[in-house]
């Protein structure tokens, strides 16, 4: 790969003191990425863009928002009606949170499908789960800020989860609230933390990228990069691919933003919080629904809470649960089917979470919860008896064989590399 070179004396002067230009060059320009990355690999950069969108719109909202139980709801209406483009800022932020989760969930499923959590990328995977947990905490606290009915009762229900902890549960909840119910102190600390956590996220994202660039991207074949013939420089190949993905995703985002900005929200949240009346049917935002369904499917308070947290924390042990040495599901006939079943189970759980906890829905969510954990429980055994299909000898060989290199003879690819 080409070393960073420049004729500019200013750049040389800075570079000598802080090698920032060569650093950017190394990680965003000449960075060698597997040449076979498909569109499933766009979601990482999209998640990064969404984090920036949330932070920028969030900072704007915070300029007009008042974190006080008497004013919060009205200040959000003030944003919607009076602030110039306030409706745009708020809808971007509210829908942006949903977009962020869509992107991150697809990103995670991509990792599951191609075995990206396996050695040597376990730490990269852990950092991803930490990002998911931080996002969830951030989104939950953000949802409380407009101080509507769902804000208030969502906050009450979710903080009450901690009362399931034996012995100290009640004291923990009082501590979280800063009082004896969700009230002004709760709103103020949630606002403070909601502002803080996205910046913690930036830090974790940097670690995530550091781990990524240290061990390089996995790829749809799940085999290692064996040499320069297996890679292409990040710029222009993947900058352009990411830009195209961003444009298409932007259309999708705009569809919600401009044509159905409240489709993903709950109408009840346009009613000001009333600590004396609980809405008939409390549901969290859609991105929490599968976990909410798991919580409700267990007929025991502590058990439900444990199952819900376990549903996420089990991802931390995934690298050891999966005993197969083959990464990509493309070459794992049984795992591939299990993967798609798992996706369906997650969708079914999400559907159950949106339904009232009664009748058939309880049965369906119990079965789905069982299957959710069964996926992880079966993985060690699948790895033992599944017979993977033969792996290609290299990324380059597979690309050329599939005709992927047809439009670009080998020589041209090599030349592109030189040009960087």
Partner 1 sequence: MADTTHGGQTRRDFLYIAAGGMGAVGVGAMAWPFVSQMNPSQDVLALSSTEVDLSTIDVGQSVKVFWRGKPVFIRHRTAAEIAEAEGVPMGDLPDPQADSDRVQRAEWLILVGVCTHLGCIPIGEQGDYGGWFCPCHGSHYDISGRIRRGPAPLNLEVPEYVFLDDNRVRIG
Please report, as ranges, the residues that interact with partner 1 according to CB under 8 A.
Answer: 56, 60, 63-64, 78, 81-86, 88-89, 243, 408, 412, 415-416
User: Helix or strand or coil: residue 156?
Assistant: helix
Euclidean distance between CA atoms 122 and 133, whole angstroms = 17
Determine the Cα–Cα distance for residues 47 and 346; give it in Å rounded to an integer: 20
Q: Find the binding residues for ligand HEM in span 95-114 (CB under 6 A).
A: 97, 100
Nearer Cβ to partner 1 (68/78):
78
Find which of ligand HEM, partner 1, none residue 56 binds, CB within 5 to 8 Å per kind.
partner 1
Q: Which does 135 bind (CB under 5 to 8 A by kind): ligand HEM, partner 1, none?
A: ligand HEM
Structure tokens belonging to residue 225: 């990069």
Sequential DSSP letters for 110-153: HHHHHTTTSTT-HHHHHHHHHHHHHHHHHHHHHHHTT-BHHHHH
Exactly one of 194, 208, 327, 332 binds ligand HEM (CB under 6 A); which one? 194
Residue 88 binding target from ligand HEM, partner 1, none, CB below 5 to 8 Å by type:
partner 1
Helix (H) / strand (E) containing 307 = helix 301-321
Report in angstroms how near the CB of residue 273 gets to ligand HEM at its nearest. Answer: 12
Clarify whether 213 is annotated catalytic.
yes
Q: Which is nearer to partner 1, 354 or 416 (CB)?
A: 416
Terminal CA-CA length for the chain: 8
- DSSP result, 327-339: --GGG-HHHHHHH
60 binds, among ligand HEM, partner 1, none (CB under 5 to 8 A by kind): partner 1
CB contact at 8 A, 33 and 26: no
Question: Which of 1, 40, 55, 302 is the binder for ligand HEM (CB under 6 A)?
Answer: 55
76 scored as a contact of ligand HEM (CB under 6 A): yes
The answer to whether 200 and 369 have CB atoms below 8 angstroms apart is no
Q: Measured from the CB of residue 412, what is the shortest distance to partner 1 in angstroms?
A: 6
Close Cβ partners of 337 (under 8 Å, ≥ 6 residues apart): none
Q: Which of 118, 230, 242, 268 is catalytic?
A: 242
Question: Rounded to whole angstroms, how far apart are CA atoms 55 and 47?
Answer: 12
Per the annotation, the verdict on 64 as an active-site residue is no
For position 47 contacting ligand HEM by CB under 6 A, the verdict is no
Sequence length of the chain is: 420
By beta-carbon proximity to partner 1, the closer residue of 374 and 408 is 408
> From the CB of 150, what's the least distance to ligand HEM, in Å?
8
Stretch that binds ligand HEM, among 139-147, 152-160, 242-250, 312-320 (CB under 6 A): 139-147
β-sheet bridge partners, residue 33: 232
Closest distance to partner 1 from the beta carbon of 7 (Å): 20
Which stretch of DSSP H or E encloses residue 223? none
Chain centroid, CA 57 distance in Å: 18
* Minimum distance of ligand HEM from residue 237's CB (angstroms): 29
Asked about 242 being catalytic, the answer comes back as yes
Binds ligand HEM (CB under 6 A): choice among 31, 41, 43, 65: 65
Tell me how far apart the alpha carbons of residues 55 and 29 are, in angstroms, rounded to a whole number: 26
Catalytic residue among 35, 107, 241, 355: 241
| 154 interacts with ligand HEM by CB under 6 A | no
Which does residue 84 touch among ligand HEM, partner 1, none (CB within 5 to 8 A, set by kind)? Answer: partner 1
Question: In angstroms, rounded to a whole number, what is the distance separating the alpha carbons of residues 169 and 290?
Answer: 24
Which residue, 136, 155, 158, is CA-closest to 72? 155
The yes-or-no answer on residue 217 being catalytic is yes
Among 133, 203, 137, smallest CA distance to 176 is for 137
CA-to-CA distance for 105 and 131, rounded, in angstroms? Answer: 12
Assess 61 for contact with ligand HEM (CB under 6 A).
yes
Residues making contact with ligand HEM (CB under 6 A):
51, 54-55, 58-59, 61-62, 65, 76, 90, 93-94, 97, 100, 135, 138-139, 142-143, 145-146, 194-195, 198, 201, 265
Active site positions, annotated: 213, 217, 241-242, 285
């Amino acid at each position: 790969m080409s070393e960073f070179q420049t004729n500019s004396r200013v750049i040389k002067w800075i570079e000598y003191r802080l090698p920032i230009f060569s650093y950017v060059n190394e990680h965003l320009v000449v960075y060698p990425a597997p040449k076979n990355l498909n569109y499933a690999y766009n979601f990482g950069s999209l998640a990064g863009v969404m984090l920036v969108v949330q932070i920028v719109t969030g900072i704007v909202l915070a300029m007009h928002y008042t974190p006080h139980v008497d004013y919060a709801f009205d200040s959000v209406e003030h944003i919607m009606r009076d602030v110039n483009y306030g409706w745009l800022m708020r809808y971007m932020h509210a829908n942006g949170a949903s977009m962020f989760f869509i992107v991150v969930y697809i990103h995670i499923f991509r990792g599951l499908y191609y075995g990206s959590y396996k050695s040597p990328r376990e730490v990269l995977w852990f950092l991803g789960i930490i990002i998911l947990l931080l996002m969830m905490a951030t989104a939950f606290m953000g949802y409380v800020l407009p101080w509507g009915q769902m804000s208030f009762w969502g906050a009450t229900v979710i903080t009450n989860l901690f009362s399931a902890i034996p012995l100290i549960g009640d004291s923990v909840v009082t501590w979280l609230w800063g009082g004896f119910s969700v009230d002004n102190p709760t709103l103020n600390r949630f606002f403070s933390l909601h502002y803080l956590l996205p910046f913690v996220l930036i830090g974790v994202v940097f670690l995530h990228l550091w781990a990524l660039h240290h061990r390089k991207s996995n790829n749809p074949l799940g085999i290692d990069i064996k040499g320069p013939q297996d890679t292409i420089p990040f710029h222009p190949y993947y900058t352009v691919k990411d830009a195209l993905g961003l444009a298409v995703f932007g259309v999708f985002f705009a569809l919600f933003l401009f044509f159905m900005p409240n489709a993903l929200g709950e109408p009840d949240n346009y009613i000001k919080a009333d600590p004396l009346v609980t809405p008939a049917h409390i549901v969290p935002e859609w991105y929490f629904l599968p976990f909410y369904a798991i919580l409700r499917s267990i007929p025991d308070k502590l058990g439900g809470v444990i199952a819900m947290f376990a549903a996420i924390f089990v991802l931390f042990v995934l690298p050891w649960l999966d005993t197969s040495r083959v990464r990509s599901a493309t070459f794992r006939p049984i795992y591939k089917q299990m993967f798609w079943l798992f996706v369906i189970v997650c969708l079914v759980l999400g559907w159950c979470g949106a339904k009232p906890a009664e009748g058939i829905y309880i049965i369906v969510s119990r079965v789905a919860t069982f299957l959710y954990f069964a996926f992880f429980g079966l993985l060690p055994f699948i790895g033992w008896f599944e017979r993977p299909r033969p792996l290609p000898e290299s990324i380059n060989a597979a690309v050329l064989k599939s005709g992927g290199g047809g439009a670009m003879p080998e020589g041209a690819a090599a030349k592109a590399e030189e040009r960087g």
